[in-house]
Every structure is written in structure tokens, then in C-alpha cells.
Amino acid sequence: MTTKKIIIISGPTASGKTSTSMNIYDQLIRVGLRPAIVNFDSLLFYKELSIGTAKPTQEELQNYEHHLVDIKSAKEPLNASEFLELADKTLDNLIDDGKIPIFVGGSAFYVRAFIKGMYDSTPISEELRLSIEKEYNQKGISFIREFLKENDPISFEALHENDHYRNIRAYEHFRATGSPISLEKEKAEKNNPYDFSVNRLKGFEIIHIYLDLPKDEHWSIIKDRTSKMIESGLIEEVRNLLNNGFTGKEKPLTSIGYKETIQFINGEFSTQNEYIERIAISTRQLAKSQRTFFNKVTPKDIFHPLKDKNNIVNLVISKLKVD
């Protein structure tokens, strides 16, 4: 067996990635290997967010070696370049220790950044970032949208006006480089963005396990998971955050589950059932976009997370053996 192999478990939200990773972990231990789970689900980075992220329990985090979980405050969101640096460092350390890395997550952006690299890796100076933040606070997103319309019309058309983060990022890029971020994206699109066999991880073999299940079955799981999050105290978790210095405008708190809960606390839903339904529908829409992305990705081995447990383990173990 060579240690220079990476297991990647991907799939839409609520498709069983966490339980699958732990099952693989257990079986690798059973055959004498040393696995470690590395998170690239964007919301699991944050210490304060638990219930709405379906984060592994404290017991699971203790019993299964995890990396890149609870590493930042939600008040200081992790950007993609920081993630990439941490992921590379973690990978190097695990390989040096003779461990098998199991990367787990459904965040398509982070999965692709890790495997293919980032098309936008331009560093932004703190001085420029603060200057742009001041402009944004004073003039709002409309000022940035007008700038993009004039200087980067492709990004202007591609980005929704409510996606403040990516609009600001496109504006930052132009201010830092003098060229549109859409040009960088165009270059990346020519680099086979969905072909994971062409990647930045030189010298590694990627074992890509993709989990999915029929849409009706998945919808049932999403609704059940949403209800359980509410029962487990999601509203109390968010209320506690708002009572302890969070405004609700932090980027992690604009994600599905947290955004709707803040709206519910602020009285923007008529009933709790309407609030729960909105989270479930938003989750289903996210799953659809994730599925669209991963359906284009090759190579991958596709499995049902519940029916194919043994097949997943057998495939992974067979691919970890000496060629």
C-alpha cells in the first residue's frame, strides 16, 4: 500500500457523508490502517455553530480524529485561500504521519479549490480591504454593482445583486489587479474544471466517493433532519449567538438554517411550520445546485449512502492496496 492516496467523500447536503466517513474510518482501523477525517464543509469551520450545521457530536469528534473543525470564530469567516493553505498543511502532516486522509464535505467551492486550485487567489492588502469595506458601508452594494457594470460586465450579469460577498470580491479583485475577475474564471474554465483527474495534487491518487440518493427519498431525509434541528435547539442556539455579540449579518449566519432562524426570531414568519418548511425548501434547493455541480465531475464512484455501505468500504480498501 502507498500512503499517497486521498479519500474524498462528496455529495449534496444531507446525503450521509458524515456517517459514511466514520464507517470507512472504523473499517480502516479494523484492517490496521490509520485514518484521519479532514473537513471541508464550510460551516463546520466555526466554533459557535453546531446544531444548524449538523456538526458531529463532541463524542464523535473525540472518537474519530478530525481536522479543520471548530478552527475559527464565525465573526472572522475563513476565506478560500486560508482554507487551501490549512488543507495543504493538514494533508502534508497526515501523510508524514503515515495516515490516510479522508476529506469530507459538500461545499462544491471548497472541494474544487482543494483539488483544482483557485482561479482567484489574488491577495488583497488589509489597507485595500478596509478601504473597500468603508466604501461599502457608506455607499451600499449599488455603488459596487455600478462599478462592475462598467468595468466587469460579465461578473455584473453573472452575480445576483443580493450576493454581496461575491460582488465585493469581484470589486476587490479589480481594484487590486486592474483586470476583471471574470477573466480569471474564463482561464479556469479552460482547465477542465470538472475533471478531477487533472489536479494540483501531484503524486496523489484520489479515491472519490460520491453519495447520492433518489430525490423523493432525499427530500424526506431533509425534512426529517430539519425538524430534528429545531427539536435539538436551533432557535436557542441562534438566540444565544444574538445575545452574545453577533449581529446576524456575519457571513456564516446568512447560511441556510441560520438565516431563516434569525428571520423567525424577528417575527418574519407567521408560524413555526412556515419557518421549518422554508429551511427545508432552501436546503433542497442547495442540494439541487450541489448535485448539478457534482454530476459534471469525473472521475467518481457513485453510491447510495445507506444501501451501499459495504460496497463503499470494499472499494476503498481495495484501492488502498498495493497496485
The predicted-structure confidence for 25-75, as pLDDT tens digits, reads as follows 999 999 999 999 999 999 999 999 999 999 999 999 999 999 999 999 999
When mean pLDDT is compared across 5-19, 109-123, 251-265, the lowest value belongs to 109-123
Average pLDDT over the chain, rounded to an integer: 92
HSE-CB of 122 using CA atoms within 13 angstroms: 20
Domain ranges of the chain: 5-119+196-214+294-320, 126-188, 217-288
pLDDT value for 275: 98
**Pairing mode, strands 66-67 and 301-303:** unpaired
Q: Is the pLDDT of residue 118 over 80?
A: no
What pLDDT was estimated at residue 138? 92
Q: What is the pLDDT of residues 159-210, one digit of tens each?
A: 888 788 788 989 998 998 898 988 877 766 666 778 998 888 988 999 999 9
Phi and psi (nearest 5°) for 213? Answer: -155, 165
Q: What is the pLDDT of residues 127-140, one digit of tens each?
A: 898 899 899 989 98
**Looking at the predicted structure, is the pLDDT value of residue 323 above 60?**
no
Q: Which of 133, 132, 159 is nearest to 145 (CA)?
A: 159
How confident is the model over 199-253, as pLDDT tens digits?
889 889 999 999 999 999 999 999 999 999 999 999 999 999 999 999 998 989 9
Topology adopted by domain 126-188: Histone, subunit A (1.10.20)
| 3-state class percentages of the chain: helix first, strand second, coil last, to nearest 5 | 55, 10, 35
Topology adopted by domain 5-119+196-214+294-320:
Rossmann fold (3.40.50)
Q: What does CATH list as the number for 217-288?
A: 1.10.287.890
